[in-house]
Structure 1
Amino acid sequence: MAATTPNWLRRSGTALGCVLILAWCLLPVVWIISLSFKSQIAITNGSPGFFPASGDFAGWANYRDVWDNDQFRRAIFNSIGISLIATLLSVAIATLAAYAIARLEFRGKKLVLSMALAFAMFPVVSLVGPLFDMWRTIGLYDSWPGLIIPYMSFTLPLAIWTLSAFFREIPWEMEQAAQVDGATSWQAFRRVIVPLAAPGVFTAAILTFFFAWNDFVFGISLTSTENARPIPASLSFFVGSDPFNRPASLLAAGAVISTIPIIVIVLLFQRKIVAGLTSGAVKG
């Protein structure tokens, strides 16, 4: 009979594994926060360690300097507006399209879903050149629609794929029961089906928003001014008094500020995000 592993040893191994994973994942976060509180002179001279020394500590000055920068505030405004519009449009269109795919039987339905997933996984870099020429020709270059449309071209197929799985797991009888009670097809969809698919809708919205907020390739390639340049691309244009010595402390502070909206969203909607990633609404 094989000997069993003691419980305390299993628990210790699990705890050690969790600590190692957390240390590996949080190391870049701790490092960039440390840089954001150091002075530029300390970084230039090579201040070691995570925590700045007393003479190297800049306090909140880096964050104030970044926030007082008009370029940074404009980039934050662009990212919020572009990401929200792309998210709302993608989720609204994907909800209707996914419902039709899940409920209707038509030839080539699996092909449509496969093509949607293939479009979502298409390399972003391969589209930058054609979009650059096209947007300059039709006047969408360096504008909000010039970024919203490419974002939707990647997030919409992924949202359709995600939501169609949720709609398929909702019992068809629930919609029929609502129609028997006098509800129209649109009322049954809006008041019965959509609330039941709320975890999937939240998951699609979060994935869409994250993609739009974190995008760098489209943001730096399809903009030339601060009119529509989002925050990831705008950070790459931050320069100090010396163009050959980038203000690393200010860049770190800007990166931390730009990460705060993502952290807030995750903390506020973590239960719905987990529910959307681990379940599929109601199973019949």
Structure 2
Amino acid sequence: MKLGMRSKKNIEKTFLYIFVVVIFIYFVFPFWWAIRSSFTSNTFLFTKDFSLLPPEWTFDHYIGVFREHNFLRNILNSIIVAGSTTLFSLVLGSFAGYAVARLKIPGKVLIMGSILAVSMFPQVSILGGLYQLLRSMGLIDTYPGLIIPYTAITLPLTTWILQNFFRDLPKSVEESAYIDGCNKFQTLYKIVIPLSIPAIVTTGLLTFIQAWNEFMFALTFVINPEMFTVPVAISMFTGASQYEQPWGQLMAASVIITVPLVLLVLIFQNKIVEGLTSGAIKG
């Protein structure tokens, strides 16, 4: 009987490992293929011979990305826009999330339902009206012209995640702060925020990635190539003729903008897991 149960567990464990390996390959292989293509010379880029490693290593595509395009400026634009969006979303989302989680607000359920409903709006449905609004304010081709819409589309997710975390914090900690003379605002930034670092890191990374990868608003609200963010800049890469696509440079640029995000996730993976699972188990 014990032998049969042990054999069954081994089979289940084997299938689990196989499933994990398949999922890992499914998600990692496209990124590895992009890296492989970025280091492959044009001579071997479109050959039918399959190989996991470049037949001939070259850095020409990476050099071309920076030599033939203003890619450093595009990266700086994305850092400014995504970084500012993350900062504003975290600040506003912290206040909103704490208010929803702790204050007695009439219609709290309706407020959170509205937040979720707004986050589900397709971007294309508000694109025209938002463009007219930004143009009338003189914000086309400016950083605020991207930061403000980005903050608006990322704020619902930020508020939702943070209010869930704030709601699960023990009230006794805040009550102790009130006894010591702290008001609501002091309690938030002296007590609640330091205790919520895992949730803030998780939310900040999700917000940063969403703003970093956003394409539709950046394509519509920016006309000057000097103000392009990296997704728009990459989409504008052209070859020697209108019928040629510089796939090597496209892959190199994709790797350049993806690697920092991967490194951030790996560095803060413990905080991310802690933030996503906070409140899942209560003792």
TM-score (norm 2): 0.91
Q: CA separation of 1:138/1:188 partners in 2, compared to 1, >3 Å: closer, same or farther?
A: closer
Corresponding residue for residue 41 of structure 2? 39
* Residue 16 of structure 1, aligned match among 12, 15, 18: 18
Q: Encode CA deviations 1:174-233: one digit per residue, 9 max, x unaligned.
A: 111122134343332222111122222122211110110011111112111223211011
Q: Could you list the per-position Cα deviations for residues 49-83 of structure 1 after superposition, in whole angstroms to 9, with x for gaps in the alignment?
A: 244664xx242221122133442111101101100
Unpaired runs of 5+ residues, structure 2, are none
* Equivalent position amino acid for 2:112 in 1: L
Is 2:37–2:54's contact at 8 Å kept on the other side of the alignment? no
Per-residue CA distance 1:13-64 (angstroms, 9 max, x = gap): 1111111111111121122112111222433x5444244664xx24222112
Q: Secondary structure at 1:6's aligned position in 2?
A: helix
What's 2:116 paired with?
Answer: 117
User: Counterpart of 1:74 in structure 2: which amino acid?
Assistant: R
Closer, same or farther: CA 52–204 of 1 in aligned 2, 3 Å: closer
- Paired amino acid for 2:26: W
Aligned to 2:50: 49
Relative to structure 2, which stretch is displaced further, 273-282 or 211-220?
A: 273-282
For the residue of structure 2 that corresponds to 1:280, the secondary structure is coil
Root-mean-square deviation (CA, aligned residues, Å) is 2.2
Identity across matched positions, percent: 36
Q: Is the 8 A contact 2:36 2:54 kept in 1?
A: no
Q: What is the aligned partner in structure 2 of residue 81 from structure 1?
A: 80
Change (3 A) 1:189 1:132: closer
What is the deviation of 1:164?
A: 0.8
Mapping for residues 1-284 of structure 1, pairs under 5 Å: 4=5, 5-43=7-45, 45-51=46-52, 54=55, 57-280=56-279
Q: 2:195 and 2:37 mapped to 1: Cα distance?
A: 45
SS at match of 2:70: helix
The residue identity in structure 1 corresponding to 2:94 is: T
Q: Which runs of 5+ in 1 are unaligned?
A: none
**TM-aligned CA deviation for residue 133 of structure 1:** 2.5
> Does structure 1 conserve the Cα–Cα contact (< 8 Å) formed by 2:146 and 2:221?
yes
User: Could you say what secondary structure the match of 1:13 adopts?
Assistant: helix
- The letter of the residue matching 2:153 is F
Give secondary structure in 1 for the equivalent of 2:201.
helix
Corresponding residue pairs, total: 281
